[in-house]
Amino acid sequence: MRKKSEIGRPNAEASNPMKTDAGNNKVSKNYDLEERTAKLGEAVIEFCLGLRETPITRPLISQIVRSATSIGANYCEADDAESHRDFRHKICLCRKEAHETKYWCRMLAKALPDEKDAIRLLWLEARELNLIFSAIYRKTKAD
């Protein structure tokens, strides 16, 4: 049985929304989305490395790895956006990739019913990220 991941769970420092850094500056992030999206990508890679490959699972594994790792890559792009419009577009891509990751989780759960519990954890984190990026997209006004 697989060890349950702590994806999406705040650690002791992250659960304090007003922690301070060494310079006693207030930090108001509850989650670092760059780190959180990277952790999802890493968890999907680690999970997929342990799966048996068959003609059915091979393309599903490829697709979920691509979509899950693209969430973080697009977030990094959004963080370095050249304009407000570019930022909004990249956040939309994050949202789409998170939604796609949920889809591939569903397909993998069907192909590998013994792995449903582990896949469910990945799906839940992809869902949370999808909701977060949807909220950011909605709150970011179009040009």
At 127, the pLDDT band (50, 70, 90 cuts) reads very high
pLDDT at 21: 46
pLDDT in tens, 39-51: 999 999 999 999 9
Q: How is residue 26 annotated by DSSP? A: B
Distance CA 136, CA 75 (A): 12
Q: Is 28 exposed, middle or buried (0-12, 13-18, 19+ CB in 10 A)?
A: exposed
pLDDT at 142: 74
Q: Is 104 exposed, middle or buried (0-12, 13-18, 19+ CB in 10 A)?
A: buried
At 31, the pLDDT band (50, 70, 90 cuts) reads low
Evaluate if pTM is beyond 0.85: no
Domains of the chain: 56-139 (1.20.1440.60)
